[in-house]
Structure 1
Amino acid sequence: MNNNLFSDEHVCTHLGDEYDRFHGAVVPPIYQNSLFVFKNFDDLTEAMKDEQSNYLYWRGMNPTVEIVEKKIAALEKGEKCKLFSSGMAAISSAILTFLQAGDHVLSISNIYGPTTKFFTYIEKFGVAHTNTLSTDLDVIESLIQPNTKVIYLESPTTMTFKLVNLKAVSTLAKQHGIKTIIDNTWATPLFQNPLTFGIDIVVHSVSKYLGGHSDLVGGALITSNEIMDHLFYHEYQLLGGVMPPYEAWLLMRGLRTLPIRMRAHHESGLKIASFLEDHSSVKKVHYPGLKSSPDYELGKQQLKGYSGLMSFELANNSFDSVRKVINSLKQFQIGVSWGGFESLVISPNYGNNTEHLINSGIDPGLIRISVGLENSDELMEDLSTALQQKLTV
């Protein structure tokens, strides 16, 4: 049966679990073995002809990992998924699969910091990179070069949470023979399916919402059979950033509650974004779920919901003001990452990088929060208390 006919809830709770195969176990086991043995050498040589479909070695296929890959591929409306040991392992593999010396990459708006650093890193291999802060299609097209092979984007974007028109960008890219890659971690497959808009590869940091419990690190790529056939035998196997089975089992556990958790993040996120928008100490809220967002109408076309990650700008945007607000929060823990059960807060303003922030289109008074699964009224009370601090310019 076509996996796309199943509901997200069914995919998360049952798809691929194959109870008969696993002796009726309601939770499939962890296959912790590093290799698989065969009855005879003929069976081994036959299996080696198609390592994507046969269990040979941990670095290729593993039954526990495979179950989760089937679930995520189905959720993203894609043909194949491969899991990686980190989000950056997935991102770097996706980018490298399309590139060689002399090529050019164009990235759109604010993207994850380590991804930008990776683009700088591969310059030593002869790959050029251009970034534009604009999401305007005409601007994007003007920056395409004859050797542009990849357009890389996030939507919503990092820190500023602007939306990119996925259909328009994918159409433009195809006109120029360019591949497109998107980091879809913010929305999860439940709220956005970029492949249906023509994007070539979808990336996830499964450490965030898909895992949901802040107890694993991993990444995922979802794409077509054709692209994955190449990627599997090159960037996936040769770079070796594969996900261990125990982490895959943790991820499987997290997926069981993903639909319920994302509904909660959606409801609390909208409630807290609206609260912040009305607060006198807040100049601006970056959250596409707000009707005041310039991307609200585009969001209704592309998104089926909104997660709990957002940012806001303080009216008094000095580093001292940012520091005071963050240090005054009690329910929001101070830490990197996001997407777990816990609420988190951070700022890109470290007290010595104001010029860099402004050049990146980020207000120095910006604070990012990840709304967790705590009581939303308690979270708003916490924010209200912190924002009442005497803030100085």
Structure 2
Amino acid sequence: MSEQKQYGFTTTILHSDRQKEIEHGSVHKPIHTSVMFGYKDARDLAAVFQGKQSGYRYGRQGNPTVTALEEKITKMEDGASTITFGTGMAAIGAVFQALLRQGDHVVSSAFLFGNTNSLWQTVSTQGVDVAMVDATDVANVVAAITPSTRMVFVETVANPRTQIADLKRIGEVCRERGILYVVDNTMTSPYLFQPKTVGAGLVVNSLTKYIAGHGNVLGGALTDTGLFDWAAYPNIAANFRKQASAQQGMSQVRAKALRDFGATLSPEAAHQIAVGAETMALRMERESTSAMALATMLAADPRVAVVHYPGLASHPQHQLASELFRSYGALFSFELKPEIDCFDYLNRLSLAINATHLGDTRTLVIPVAHTIFFEMGAERRAAMGIADSLIRVSVGIEDTQDLLTDFAQALTPVL
């Protein structure tokens, strides 16, 4: 495969490993399980440690199998470089751990994945001020910015209510003011959207979800898009300033977050993720089509109070989603009318699985307020618009008609 040619998304991912020579003619990058890497010349080992020569030091900081996956994700996001981690939360935590200091200020979307919201609460107790705002309107972000604001953090589509941040205009504000713009792309995936197009400096992906896609492996990634000027970022340590400015941010993340905290992605997991990623586009097309069909059917049923899905014209950010994303994604949520108990409804489903996860090949459902958002309390849930009857649906690759039949029959109680 010629590196000079430009191929489509899936072709590029499928043949990414073959851009470089692979041992023994293997089509996939082999799984390298060694923790240590030996050198015949001790001077080469020293040069690698000092950053004067490329190479591997220790499995916690890098591995050939993991590197191959990082290069694949960099291509997905049209980025400059990628660092992978053991989980998506580790990738988000790495941003905070490596790039923020006491006294810094962060503006974050208030509509966040529950664990990210919990992490922000922890960060707030450690000397970093966090302003949580409704990021669907850029004016709220602008109003929250202070002279000490170092970062704006948003998700592309909020989980579970599907609010969409004012991505492009927030990017313009961050660029004008020299603020690091971090976008969590997990809910859309690099196939449906590349945050680089709206000016993101760093992109987060939970590899566990749509990229790996089969619910059998954990992983996370942080991609530098190459757009942010690290030379102007005040929190880069002196020893990393010796490197080219484009490398300073990720070098500090790799050392201060990956190396020091050890949230390393295993080579076995990297291989599973890489193989799963090959079919991401195919899965996302099927899942998005079924999600649109399901959301449309439920929205038309009088027993359903409301459906939250960007593909519906009734969604507050429908037009924005139409402008930004390749399609509307595979996740939606809905609220039942009061006379239908959400637990009874879920128990009547035959195909959909009651489970916490998303981005799987199988359709998954969960009563949000009673599970993944229970810990944050009723007041915070109300502020985020999460009703007690809210059901989140992560649509899989089942035949669309089978899903339509299943979700429709569950609306009618068995007599």
Q: TM-score range by the shorter chain?
A: over 0.9
Q: Which residue of 1 aligns with 2:137?
A: 136
Distance 1:117 1:152 in 2: 14
Alpha carbons of structure 1 residues 40 and 357: separation in structure 2 relative to 1, 3 Å:
same
Segment of structure 1 superposing worse, 239-248 or 22-31: 22-31
2-structure distance, mates of 1:23, 1:273: 48
Per-residue CA deviation, residues 297-323 of structure 1 (Å, 9 max, x unaligned), is: 21122111232111112222x8x7122
Q: Which residue number corresponds to residue 56 of structure 2? A: 55
Give yes or no for contact 1:93–1:235 (8 Å, CA) kept in 2.
Answer: yes
Structure 2 counterparts to residues 299-378 of structure 1, below 5 A: 299-316=321-338, 321-350=341-370, 353-378=377-402
Deviations 1:213-264 (A, max 9, x none): 1110110111134321222222222111110100000001101211211111
- In the alignment, the residues of structure 1 paired with residue 29 and residue 93 of structure 2 have an alpha-carbon distance, to the nearest angstrom, of 30
2:284 is equivalent to residue 262 of structure 1:
yes
1:123, 1:356 → 2: CA distance? 16
Matches within 5 A, 1:138-217: 138-217=139-218
Q: How many Å apart are 1:346 and its aligned residue?
A: 0.7
Deviation, 1:178, is: 1.9
Residue 48 of structure 1, CA deviation: 1.7
Consecutive unaligned residues in structure 2, runs of 5 or more: 227-245
Aligned to 1:271: 293
Alignment-mate amino acid for residue 85 of structure 2: F
Quickly say closer, same or farther: Cα 1:101–1:4, change in 2 above 3 A. Answer: farther
Residue 3 of structure 1 and its aligned partner are, at CA, apart by 8.0
- Is 2:395 aligned against 1:382? no
Could you say which residue in structure 1 is the equivalent of 2:261? Answer: 239
CA distance in 2, matches of 1:51, 1:234: 19
Deviation at 1:20, TM superposition (A): 4.0
Of the three residues 309, 314, 327, the one matched with 1:292 is: 314
Kindly, what percent of the aligned residue pairs are identical?
30
Secondary structure class of the residue paired with 1:130: strand
Partner AA of 2:413 in structure 1: Q
| Aligned partners of 1:85 and 1:244 also within 8 Å | yes
Q: Offset at 1:271?
A: 1.3
TM-score (norm 1): 0.93
Q: Once the 2 structures are TM-superposed, how far is the Cα of residue 27 of structure 1 from its aligned partner?
A: 2.4
Q: Counterpart amino acid of 2:43?
A: D
Q: After the TM superposition, which of the residue ranges 113-122 and 124-133 deviates more from structure 2?
A: 124-133
- Report deviation, 1:191: 0.5
Deviation at 1:79, TM superposition (A): 0.6
Cα separation, 1, equivalents of 2:96 and 2:6: 31
Structure 2 residue 39 is matched with structure 1 residue 38: yes
Which residue in the other structure is 1:92 paired with? 93
Superposition CA RMSD, Å: 2.1
Aligned length: 388
